[in-house]
Structure 1
Amino acid sequence: MAVTNKLALLVGCNYTNNHKVPVENKLHGCINDVNAVQALIRQRFGFQDKNITILTEETEMKPTSYNIMYQLKSLIDAAKPGDTLLFYFSGGGAVVKHTVKNKITDIPAIVPSDLHPITVDFILPKLNLLPDGAFFTFICDSSYSGGLFHNEVQIESNVRDPGSNFRRKTIPSNLLQSHNVFENLAAGISLNNKFLFSSSKANEESVEVYPNGDESKAISAFSNAIQTLLNSPQAVNPSVAGNHLNALYNIWEVAAYTKAVLGILGFDQHPYVNYGDNTAAASFLGGYVA
């Protein structure tokens, strides 16, 4: 039987070292998110440290646009049939203005530390290079992220006034650096063996939370909801899970339950999911390890 691996690229952008980002737009929880996701996938899903690449402002390789796309390509190039891949991003979201047939449209993007936005046209061609039988999960925790795989969205704010204990995960479009947008690539991807999970709908902002007002302990609401779910007693305690621990949460259940957890916690953002017909019943990230 062929040996399969679990490979991950985890990216967190707080923009703390970028002087172009105003204080009110800097984030505090995205590196915390990455650290928590790293612990989760190592302890619960059997990812090995040698197969986890991390890009944050605290790592030697920074989460610039070039480095993110280079490492994503490297992740996919390393994949073999049967492997499980995870690309996780926590950071700011933005919209890129693009003109098609004299009409200006808003294209959602994730924002690396150097403010050169990454849109769907950079991500999708990489996904089409996945080998047959490899399983790819993209978890994106940023504003407007549900629109990453659509050609056009209408942007509006859904988030209440954050106050001192919340902050929108949004980078104003006037701060973005140069970017080119290509057209209609979203129609060219097969979603078989792919799970695309975003923290909010295309017209919604996502937030990070400051427990007791402490910015050093900031966490993103969506990422925290996933971890709350996957670290729940049903997931952690074999006596509760019975004999089906390895298949306790499939793709559809993770999506549905994470939405429910966000609602229970009082957040107005609505995670967006997209996956192929053969994907919904698959075990999340290849299943738990004992």
Structure 2
Amino acid sequence: MEEGKKRMAVLVGCNYPNTQNELHGCINDVLTMRDVLVKRFGFDLSHIQLLTDAPAAGRSDIMPTGANIMKALGEMVDRAEPGDVLFFHYSGHGTRIPSVKHGHPFRQDEAIMISLKYLGFLLTNVDFRQLVNRLAKGASFTMLSDSCYSGGLIDKEKEQIGPSTIPTRDPAPSDDHKPKSIPFETILQHLSSLTSICTHEIGTHLLELFGSEASLKFRLPLHGGSILWPELLKPDDGILLSGCQASEISADMSPSPAQGGAGKAYGAFSNATVLKEHSGQLSNRQVVMMARQRLQANGIEQHPCLYCSDKNADAVFLWQPQENYKSKIHKMLVNWGWWS
């Protein structure tokens, strides 16, 4: 990598311990990813921030509250310079919430569910859009979300690999397979019990509980019953690799030793990104397609997707173009006045 260019990452794993929605493989996912980033992609360990909600080897003391996650992501984005590579890996629950956009009364938007004691904090597709909009020109922001309903988690990002033409359905729960989702109705009921406010508008509950820390989706100025979105529509260099389509669930796997899993839990998509099994460079498109193939081979009914610009679809995963040797020599000669 060219000298002076930074590689930075925020890794978030939420297992929701001691709740009825507890998962088992999410912290394992981000610990594995941390090793891959260092050993394969040249990330400095000091530039990787790890946030988990249960004790784990080498984890930071920062808990994955919504405020802490957005602070870590915001600081990473604000430090970015042209050529820098930024990466966000989330493994945990996802959900869908009714859209508050004008003209989309029946649409549902994507969100991730941050919970320490099942508090109900949501980060939405609008929050990730706003982060990408702040990104320095020439830097990249890659998001890998191993969560349910994760397709489209960066709002307005162009779909490159999207919904499968094959009809899909939510797989039935099994002993080794748990969906990484919390139903919206469950979240709303819990938030209502905390605020004692009688409304089905989830934004009202979140603003009451979290105020200025609530998702940007619910803090944007309202005008005539619709939300103003002009700053959210400009071109960007965000890259989303989602664990499934916006209408699907992602699986948290807890295979027994008899099933060849040595008892170690993991997220199906995180495990299927096959980064450790290929020594060569893979494009963002190849990573997603190979993950689809691997999940299908293992009988897991979820379809990873890719959302990014046309240019970034075939760009190498977690890699930025660098000047070749000849161009560097030419630049040196020009700077020395030996070449025009």
Structures share a fold, TM > 0.5?
A: yes
Count of residue pairs brought into register by the alignment: 263
Pairing 1:6–2:7 present: yes
- In structure 2, what is the Cα distance between the partners aligned to 1:203 and 1:36? 27
- In structure 2, what is the Cα distance between the partners aligned to 1:100 and 1:274? 21
- In structure 2, what is the Cα distance between the partners aligned to 1:83 and 1:253? 22
Tell me what 1:252 maps to: 285
Contact 1:30 1:219 in 2 (8 A): yes
- In structure 2, what is the Cα distance between the partners aligned to 1:83 and 1:43? 18
Tell me what 1:115 maps to: 120
- TM-superposed deviation, 1:189: 4.3
From 257, 264, 268, the counterpart of 1:221: 268
Task: State the TM-score, normalized to the length of structure 1.
Answer: 0.82
**Closer/same/farther in 2, CA of residues 250 and 162 from structure 1, 3 Å limit:** same
Contact 2:133 2:232 in 1 (8 A): no
CA offset digits 1:11-30 (Å, max 9, x no partner): 0111115xxx42xx211110
- In structure 1, what is the Cα distance between the partners aligned to 2:44 and 2:3? 18
- TM-superposed deviation, 1:101: 5.6
- In structure 1, what is the Cα distance between the partners aligned to 2:102 and 2:138? 39
**Closer/same/farther in 2, CA of residues 131 and 147 from structure 1, 3 Å limit:** closer
- In structure 2, what is the Cα distance between the partners aligned to 1:184 and 1:36? 40
- In structure 2, what is the Cα distance between the partners aligned to 1:256 and 1:56? 28
From 279, 294, 311, the counterpart of 1:278: 311
SS in 2 for 1:195: strand
Deviates more, 1:158-167 or 1:278-287: 278-287
- TM-superposed deviation, 1:280: 2.2
Contact 2:91 2:145 in 1 (8 A): yes
Task: State the TM-score, normalized to the length of structure 2.
Answer: 0.71
Tell me what 2:223 maps to: none
- In structure 1, what is the Cα distance between the partners aligned to 2:265 and 2:43? 25
From 42, 51, 54, the counterpart of 1:55: 51
Deviates more, 1:207-216 or 1:84-93: 207-216
Tell me what 2:275 maps to: 230
- In structure 1, what is the Cα distance between the partners aligned to 2:253 and 2:289? 22
- In structure 1, what is the Cα distance between the partners aligned to 2:4 and 2:108? 43
Tell me what 1:81 maps to: 82
Contact 1:28 1:215 in 2 (8 A): no
- In structure 1, what is the Cα distance between the partners aligned to 2:23 and 2:307? 27
- In structure 1, what is the Cα distance between the partners aligned to 2:107 and 2:310? 30
SS in 2 for 1:70: helix
- In structure 2, what is the Cα distance between the partners aligned to 1:204 and 1:157? 8
CA offset digits 1:168-187 (Å, max 9, x no partner): 00012223544353547596
**Closer/same/farther in 2, CA of residues 189 and 31 from structure 1, 3 Å limit:** farther
- TM-superposed deviation, 1:215: 10
Tell me what 2:178 maps to: 167
Deviates more, 1:138-147 or 1:275-284: 275-284
- In structure 1, what is the Cα distance between the partners aligned to 2:147 and 2:75? 23
Contact 2:177 2:253 in 1 (8 A): yes
- In structure 1, what is the Cα distance between the partners aligned to 2:108 and 2:271? 28
Contact 1:29 1:215 in 2 (8 A): no
Tell me what 1:37 maps to: 33
Tell me what 1:212 maps to: 256
Tell me what 2:235 maps to: 190
**Closer/same/farther in 2, CA of residues 276 and 184 from structure 1, 3 Å limit:** farther
Deviates more, 1:248-257 or 1:215-224: 215-224
Deviates more, 1:123-132 or 1:137-146: 123-132
Between Structure 1 and Structure 2, whose CA radius of gyration is higher?
Answer: 2
Q: Which runs of 5+ in 1 are unaligned?
A: 237-244
Tell me what 1:92 maps to: 93
Identity %: 33
**Closer/same/farther in 2, CA of residues 157 and 28 from structure 1, 3 Å limit:** farther
- TM-superposed deviation, 1:98: 4.1
From 281, 294, 297, the counterpart of 1:261: 294
2:265 counterpart letter in structure 1: A
**Closer/same/farther in 2, CA of residues 76 and 109 from structure 1, 3 Å limit:** same
Contact 1:15 1:27 in 2 (8 A): yes
- TM-superposed deviation, 1:140: 0.5
Cα RMSD after superposing both structures = 2.5
SS in 2 for 1:88: strand
